[in-house]
Amino acid sequence: MKIHALITQFFAGNPTRNLSWKHQSRRKNCSNQFWFVLLFSIVMFFVLLCFNHLFFLEKTIGSVSFPGNSTGSATYFPGKLKNSSKDSCFGRYVYVHDLPKRFNEDVIKDCQLITRPTDRFSMCKSLENSGFGPRIRGSNGSESWKNGWFSTNQFMLEVIFHNRIKKYDCLTNYSTLASAVFVPYYAGLDLRRYLWRSDVSTRDSTGIDLVDWLTRKPEWKRNLGKDHFLISGRIARDFRRKSDRKSDWGSNFRLLPGSENMTMLTIESGSSKNDVAVPYPTYFHPSTNFQVHEWQQFLRKQNRPHLFSFAGARRSKQKGPIRAEIINQCQASNKLCNFLDCASSSNKCDDPATLMNLFRNSIFCLQPPGDSLTRRSTFDSILSGCIPVFFHPGSAYTQYVWHLPKDHNKYSVLISGKDLRAGKVGIKQRLQQISKDEEQAMREEVIKLIPRILYGDPRSRLDTIGDAFDLAIKGILKRIEMLTKENIKI
């Protein structure tokens, strides 16, 4: 009543009449006045509402006035700030270079060209579902975690990562605002087209072309490429060919002067500090936190009848003496060890269901070096809650420093490859020394690592859980911040 009176007093044409409104309340023109007041209050209500809204907008505009076009409510990062007076993307903006198609789309267009005779299915199939590959059939079960499984090819990491970064919540079209510049070049798939059949200049040509394109861009000039990064689904060594002999392996991409200034994420790094290892992609690409939790719960209840297992093939005497010893020891351990021979013609080593069943039923999974120090199988075994057993620190500890804990005794076992070859240590004996309590604690650590080593489905969102992609971005932003600071000092 008071407010109505005040409003009418100030805004209506006849203040005197309004002042005497109370006394006239039972008279006929009162009803006119009443409707007038009501209308006015409604109008004022909306005016106030708008005013409030404008005020609110002003506050938020103040915080998101960066032209980054980020969606403020998206929460990919666990520690993301929910503070309206601060831009939550500050320091996390990534600019993605719009590369000519010859560096990515065209590389995978002719998918037969990147398919090898030894591939389980053509790369055309592996490219399905944003690079996750075909959905695993029979995954229609009632448990939700069964929906996130795919036959993923390890070489697809470049496509998987590219599709995922397109959904990153702090992308910007303004490169000056960006803390990091992503170069979506499919380095490994490009090389795969020529690796076995061509002369070195064909293998090197796209890389040279790319560096030439990048170094002409204004984005390059700012930090001479030190804030640029790319990803490779092949090991770093493949891009560091030492000579120009045709028989020598790989390309020279990472030896080019411009390329050296960028950071390359790769499934296996070498001696160069500019290559940083990230997990191989595995078969599980969940789209919700719930799917991850369900799978973890399922693993905790698993019965594991085998003490240890190994899925792999023998290598020649010179190349892989550890493998021969491991296979011998496994076969001599009877039912304690389960060996899946990937050299046999009918092998099922590329079949996700077979592999996951093997690892899911084992307490420890042996991960010896093969053609190179690391194996995708390491991540398959973590995904199955199987404690990995390494024979070289370079198989994981010195590689995945952003993704795996520093204290490796918590989640894995290291057996010296040298001692094994010298017959000083038996695998079965070493593993049997580990108490049930220790084993239980290690397995729990492994199960907790699962979200950190998987690449979630970009078509929906894992919130609050940081996955392998999130950790890679976090790591690269920190690294680039350090590198560009150094730059300023110089």
Ligand X SMILES: *[C@@H]1O[C@H](CO)[C@@H](O)[C@H](O)[C@H]1NC(C)=O
Between the alpha carbon of residue 267 and those of residues 123, 127, 231, 392, the distances in Å are 19, 18, 9, 16
Least distance to ligand X, CB of residue 221, Å: 8
> Which residue from 2, 26, 27, 137 is in contact with ligand X, where contact means CB under 6 A?
137
Q: Are 180 and 73 in contact (CB under 8 A)?
A: no
Residue-by-residue DSSP string for 12-44: SS-HHHHHTTTTTTTSTHHHHHHHHHHHHHHHH
Contact between 459 and ligand X (CB under 6 A)?
Answer: no
Least distance to ligand X, CB of residue 128, Å: 15
Least distance to ligand X, CB of residue 81, Å: 7
Contact between 141 and ligand X (CB under 6 A)?
Answer: no
Between the alpha carbon of residue 42 and those of residues 22, 26, 35, 446, the distances in Å are 21, 23, 11, 61
Within positions 142 to 181, which residues make up the interface with ligand X, using CB under 6 A? 171-173
Least distance to ligand X, CB of residue 254, Å: 13
Pick from 360, 374, 446, 364: nearest CA to 410:
446
Q: Which is nearer to ligand X, 173 or 202 (CB)?
A: 173
Size of the site for ligand X (CB under 6 A): 17
- Residues 6 or more apart whose Cβ sits within 8 Å of residue 134: 121, 125, 128, 150, 151
Q: HEC profile for 98-150?
A: CCCHHHCHHHHHCCCCCCCCCCCCCHHHHCHHHHCCCECCCCCCCCHHHHHEE
> Which residue from 250, 258, 286, 451 is in contact with ligand X, where contact means CB under 6 A?
258
Q: Are 455 and 148 in contact (CB under 8 A)?
A: no
Q: Which is nearer to ligand X, 27 or 137 (CB)?
A: 137
> Which residue from 13, 138, 218, 423 is in contact with ligand X, where contact means CB under 6 A?
138
Contact between 257 and ligand X (CB under 6 A)?
Answer: yes
Least distance to ligand X, CB of residue 261, Å: 4
The span from the CA of 57 to the CA of 74, in Å, is 19
The mark string for 67-96 relative to ligand X (x by CB under 6 A, - otherwise) is x-x-------------x-xx----------
The span from the CA of 403 to the CA of 265, in Å, is 13
> Which residue from 7, 177, 224, 401 is in contact with ligand X, where contact means CB under 6 A?
224
**Buried b / exposed e along 94-119 (16+ C-beta atoms within 10 A):** bbbbebeeebbeebbeeeeebbeeee
Least distance to ligand X, CB of residue 259, Å: 8
The mark string for 176-215 relative to ligand X (x by CB under 6 A, - otherwise) is ---------------------------------------x
Least distance to ligand X, CB of residue 96, Å: 9
In this structure, the chain runs to a length of 490
Tell me which H or E stretch contains 325. Answer: helix 321-332
Q: Which is nearer to ligand X, 130 or 261 (CB)?
A: 261
Q: Which is nearer to ligand X, 140 or 429 (CB)?
A: 140
Binding site for ligand X (CB under 6 A): 67, 69, 83, 85-86, 137-138, 140, 171-173, 215, 224-225, 257-258, 261
